[in-house]
Each structure stands twice: as structure tokens, then as C-alpha cells.
Amino acid sequence: MTLALTNVDTGVSIIGAGPVGSLLAGILAHNGVDVTLFDKEHNTLEGPRAMTVNARTAQILDIFDLRENLLSSPPMFHGHYGHTKVDLSTVDTPWPGMWKIQQQDLNNELLIWAIESGARLIRAAKLTNLSTNLDGYVEAEFEGAAKSAASRIVVGCDGEHSSVRSMTGLGEEVSSGHRRFITANLRASHLPTFRFEKFSEGAVVSTGRIDEETYRIMMHLPAYVPSLSTTEDIERAWKMITGVPLQGKVQSWGLQTDRNQLATSFNSSRVLLAGDAAHSQLPVGGCALNYGIEDAFSLAWRIALCLKTDTLDLFDDYSTERKFAAHRMQKFVRNQTEDLYGERPSVERTDATDVESKPNNFAEFLSGVDIDYSSCGTKASTLLHSAEITGDTQQRKLKDAQRTFSYCIPSSGEIDKPLDFAQNEEAHRLLPTGNEEISKAELTVRPDGYLISGM
Ligand SMILES: Cc1cc2nc3c(=O)[nH]c(=O)nc-3n(C[C@H](O)[C@H](O)[C@H](O)COP(=O)(O)OP(=O)(O)OC[C@H]3O[C@@H](n4cnc5c(N)ncnc54)[C@H](O)[C@@H]3O)c2cc1C
């Protein structure tokens, strides 16, 4: 239900009802947190945006019983790192592969789920000011359907040009881009297949089929293509680059550069950032949305715990871990960008050659399951992988435990019934395996599936 309210009193305000804000609102509402989503638009953003989700996102959706419905078509078992094809089928995760789904569809489903779980949605409410008062409340002011909101925590999921980021003084580290790109969706029955096909003066074109009637094109624009402002300009640019007319009707399009933006910190007291508000870059390798989904998942349990204990310590960990992950991801994006659009052949760069010698590392990167936080100064290390717990039943129980943010207390090799996260004071979950080899070790696993001790 979309509401129009004047003054809102809520536990958590989420600014931005994109996919990241919607998932975060859904998880929090699912766990009984009073949460309100504000968005400046009347509807979910349309246009050419993310099209694939990876294994880690599939796992997160599965925890909330959203996977089966959203990812109904079979996964693809290969991806690409730059030009190199990577086999995803052997990655140790419950859901290996990559799924096609249009961002708008994912966004709308997550939004419906969030509202059904109890989140409020206030549309046409544009954030105009943020301030923290001495009572530990953050006051947000809006233009439009809401006037103000007082909440214990505010999360900026308001995209690349985040108002929350700039209003909070959370700076940004920017590496300026020098390449221009256009991404467009068009209605067409057939387009030639180009996979990063090089044309004159550095122009590069890719095409991909979305469904029976829709194609996605991406063009790296050379200097001779003037600025674009209409769909006719896009058709003209295509013809200038490829030499043939564009056989289709442009439905939506967006301009991008290879600029990277990374917030200096993802938290400032009670204000947090997630998704594109915290990190944005060229969508090479399909990382952007998936990293935002992981931000939301990694933040939700911390918010629930912080609200309960009124301590903010866990937000520093969140910022350290997710900034570390985003920084690393942006390095991989830059390398792939050079591989796909640069002058030098890919073989000159070490990680391009590594793809061939260590394909599984890159399969894990593309699947979103390879992040190891042990080197960034927090207590967590790697994600708990399927092989570390045995049997379907235990996997199932791990999922159940995560769904309710519970901790499992070990007894005689069996997992005890999950406890309610909200009633458990301990900041860890103990998971026995019943497996002879590792039964002596006790796994301490966080609600987001990261190991904090054991093994
Ligand atoms: C042209 C293009 C192509 C892309 N292709 C891909 C791809 O192939 N693969 C991939 O992974 N990613 C891709 N991306 C990136 C992907 O779309 C983003 O990573 C994703 O949208 C991030 O989600 P988000 O929820 O963080 O932010 P967004 O989806 O940007 O949502 C932000 C929300 O905040 C709202 N908002 C903004 N300011 C305010 C305010 N002041 N007050 C209230 N509400 C506000 C907006 O209305 C919006 O609903 C692409 C992006 C673009 C632009």
C-alpha cells in the first residue's frame, strides 16, 4: 500500500525503494522491525538496468522463499570475466549459475514482499534534509507526500547520486571516467550478434537478447559521436559506428561513463548507505546490483540487533566489510573494462591470465561467494559454503536459521531448534555438523552466513 503521511514516526527510514532499499525493508519488516520506505518517484524506475542475478543473490532470495518464484527460468552455467568465458557450474554454493531477470521485475516483487511483510511505502516523497538530534533520532525532511520522519536509523538506498550521502557529509572517492557508453533496450525481432565487437576509433558494440521481442545494446562511443539526447541520436550513433541501420525501436536508454564512485564510509552514526549510494561503477560483469543485494543482507541483521541493544558498533563493521568488498569489486570492474574496451590485449594483465590458470577464483567472484573479510580487520572471514555442512537437511536448517536470524546451539551433533534472533543475546550462532571430519570444530556463523570462528 502506498501512503501519504505528514509526519512519520518509524524505527527505520529507508530512502529509495529501488531493489536494494526494497530488499532491506522486506528483511527488516519480516523480522518485526518498524520500517518505512520513501521514494521520490511515483513508480519503480524503468529503463535498461541490471539483467542478471548471481548465485549469492539466488541464495539470499531463497532464504526468504523468493527464489523459486523470481528465478523460475533455468540458470546459465557460464559467465564472462572480460572476454574470457568462465564455467560457473562447479562453484560450491546451493545455487550455482546466473539467472536472467529484469531489474524492474525484481524490484517490483521485492517491493510487494516488503509491503506484505509490514513495511510502509511512501512514494512521491523526495528527501530534502537530514539532521540528527540529541535524543538519538534522525529527522528527515521531504518534499511531496511526506513532510518529515523521525527514526532511529536512516539508510540511504537512493542510488548513484545519493542525497543521503551528500547530506550526511559522507564523502566519495571518485576515479573519473574517460569513456562514454550508451545502454538501450529496444523492441526488435532480430539484431546482429555482437559480443564486444570493435569498430573504428575504439568504438565497441555488444548486443544481447532479453526476450522474444526485446534486445539490449551497449555501445562504447568514440569521440566522433556527438552528445546524445534523443532516441533518433541513438539510431544515428549506431549507424555511424556499425555502418548499418538499427532494425528496432528504442524503448529506453541511459548514458554512463567508466567513472567509479565509492563512499568514504558507509556509515555515519545512525545514517548508513547501501547499494549504488555507497558504490557505483560501470555495470561490467553484472556486479552492481548483486553487490547492493549483499549490502542489504549484511546490514539487515545488524540493524535489528542495534535497535535492540541501542549500540552502533556493528555499523562500523558493516562499513569496513562492504567498503572492502566494493573496493575490490571495482578493481575487477576496471580490469574488465580495460580488457573489453582498452587498446592493450588482455593477455598483458595478470588477472586476465589468471582467469585461465585459476578459473574457479573468477567463477566464485562472478557468483558473489568469494569475499574473504579476514584481511579487512573485522571478525568475519569467508562465507559458509555448502561443503562445510553436510546433507540436505542441515542445509535446509541453515536456511531456516538465517531466515529467522537465529542462532543454533550445538547439542549432540544435531542442530537444535532455531532460536528467535530477537530473543538471543549472543552475537553468534553455533553450528555443529555431524560430519566426522569437522565435528570437533565448532562453526560460529553470523546471520549472513559468514564464519567468524571455527574450521
Ligand atoms: C543504464 C544502466 C544500465 C545498468 N546495467 C546493469 C547491469 O547490466 N547489471 C547490473 O548489475 N547493474 C546494472 N546497472 C546498475 C544497477 O541498475 C544498479 O546497481 C541498481 O539500480 C542499484 O540499485 P539501488 O537500489 O542501489 O539504487 P537505484 O535502483 O538507483 O534506486 C534508487 C532509488 O532511490 C530513489 N531516490 C533517489 N533520490 C531520492 C531522494 N532524494 N528521495 C527519495 N528517493 C530518492 C530513486 O527514485 C530510486 O527509486 C545499470 C545501471 C544503469 C543506469
Assess whether 93 and 195 both reside in one domain. no
45 alpha carbon to ligand 1 midpoint, in Å? 8
428 DSSP 8-state letter: -
pLDDT digits (tens, 9 = 90+) for 334-379: 999 988 988 765 444 556 567 777 788 899 999 999 999 999 988 8
Residue 375 CB burial class (10 angstroms; 0-12, 13-18, ≥19): exposed
pLDDT digits (tens, 9 = 90+) for 79-93: 999 988 999 999 988
Compute the average pLDDT of residues 276-283: 95
Q: Which of 231, 249, 255 is nearest to 191 (CA)?
A: 249
Give the confidence band of 448 by pLDDT, cuts at 50, 70, 90: confident
Residue nearest atom 8 of ligand 1, based on CA coordinates: 50
350 alpha carbon to ligand 1 midpoint, in Å? 32
Q: Average pLDDT over the chain, rounded to whole?
A: 85
pLDDT of residue 253: 95
Ligand 1 in reach of 127 Cβ (< 6 A): yes
178 alpha carbon to ligand 1 midpoint, in Å? 21
User: What does each C-alpha distance from 341 to 197, 255, 313 come to in angstroms?
Assistant: 10, 16, 42
Assess whether 85 and 153 both reside in one domain. yes
pLDDT of residue 353: 62
Compute the average pLDDT of residues 376-393: 73
Assess whether 66 and 129 both reside in one domain. yes
pLDDT of residue 388: 65
Atom of ligand 1 nearest to the CA of 47: 1
Ligand 1 in reach of 103 Cβ (< 6 A): yes
pLDDT of residue 412: 36
Q: Which residues pair with 324 in a beta bridge?
A: none
Assess whether 247 and 299 both reside in one domain. no
Ligand 1 in reach of 81 Cβ (< 6 A): no
Atom of ligand 1 nearest to the CA of 103: 17
- For 216, the grid coordinates are 539490449
159 alpha carbon to ligand 1 midpoint, in Å? 5
Assess whether 59 and 169 both reside in one domain. yes
pLDDT digits (tens, 9 = 90+) for 10-30: 899 999 999 999 999 999 999
CATH of the domain at 50: 3.50.50.60
Ligand 1 in reach of 368 Cβ (< 6 A): no
DSSP string across 326-347: HHHHHHHHHHHHHHHHSSS-GG
pLDDT digits (tens, 9 = 90+) for 403-442: 543 333 333 333 333 333 334 333 333 333 344 333 334 4
In this predicted structure, the answer to whether residue 100 has a pLDDT above a threshold of 50 is: yes
Give the end of a domain, one of 342, 367, 392.
367
Compute the average pLDDT of residues 280-291: 91
The answer to whether residue 372 is domain-embedded is no
47 alpha carbon to ligand 1 midpoint, in Å? 10
The answer to whether residue 252 is domain-embedded is yes
Give the end of a domain, one of 205, 226, 257.
257
The answer to whether residue 429 is domain-embedded is yes
Ligand 1 site-directed mutation target among 57, 276, 281, most atoms within 8 Å of CB: 276
pLDDT of residue 189: 86
Ligand 1 in reach of 295 Cβ (< 6 A): no
The answer to whether residue 1 is domain-embedded is no
Assess whether 69 and 94 both reside in one domain. yes
322 alpha carbon to ligand 1 midpoint, in Å? 18
pLDDT of residue 381: 84
Assess whether 313 and 435 both reside in one domain. no
The answer to whether residue 2 is domain-embedded is no
The answer to whether residue 23 is domain-embedded is yes
Assess whether 253 and 267 both reside in one domain. no
Assess whether 141 and 163 both reside in one domain. yes
Contact 14, 38 (CB under 8 A): yes
If one compares 391 and 351, the residue with the highest pLDDT of the two is 351
The answer to whether residue 293 is domain-embedded is yes
pLDDT digits (tens, 9 = 90+) for 47-79: 889 999 999 999 999 989 999 999 999 999 999
Give the confidence band of 389 by pLDDT, cuts at 50, 70, 90: low
Assess whether 206 and 275 both reside in one domain. no
CATH of the domain at 245: 3.30.70.2450
Percent of the chain with pLDDT over 90: 59
Assess whether 116 and 148 both reside in one domain. yes
Torsion from C-alpha of 113, 115, 118, 121, nearest 10 degrees: 150
In this predicted structure, the answer to whether residue 239 has a pLDDT above a threshold of 60 is: yes
Residue nearest atom 18 of ligand 1, based on CA coordinates: 289
pLDDT of residue 393: 56
pLDDT of residue 360: 85
Assess whether 37 and 149 both reside in one domain. yes
Domain total of the chain: 3
pLDDT of residue 66: 94
Find the domain containing 188 and state its range. 180-257
Atom of ligand 1 nearest to the CA of 128: 41
Ligand 1 in reach of 157 Cβ (< 6 A): yes
The answer to whether residue 21 is domain-embedded is yes
Give the end of a domain, one of 367, 391, 426.
367
Residue nearest atom 13 of ligand 1, based on CA coordinates: 50
DSSP string across 51-110: -EE-HHHHHHHHHTT-HHHHS-SPPBSEEEETTEEEE-TTSSSSS-SBEE--HHHHHHHH
Percent of the chain with pLDDT over 70: 83
Residue nearest atom 3 of ligand 1, based on CA coordinates: 49
Torsion from C-alpha of 245, 247, 250, 251, nearest 10 degrees: 180
Compute the average pLDDT of residues 97-109: 95
CA distance 210 to 276: 23
Atom of ligand 1 nearest to the CA of 254: 1
- For 46, the grid coordinates are 524503468
If one compares 381 and 1, the residue with the highest pLDDT of the two is 381
Ligand 1 in reach of 41 Cβ (< 6 A): yes
- At which residue does the C-alpha cell 580487520 appear? 377
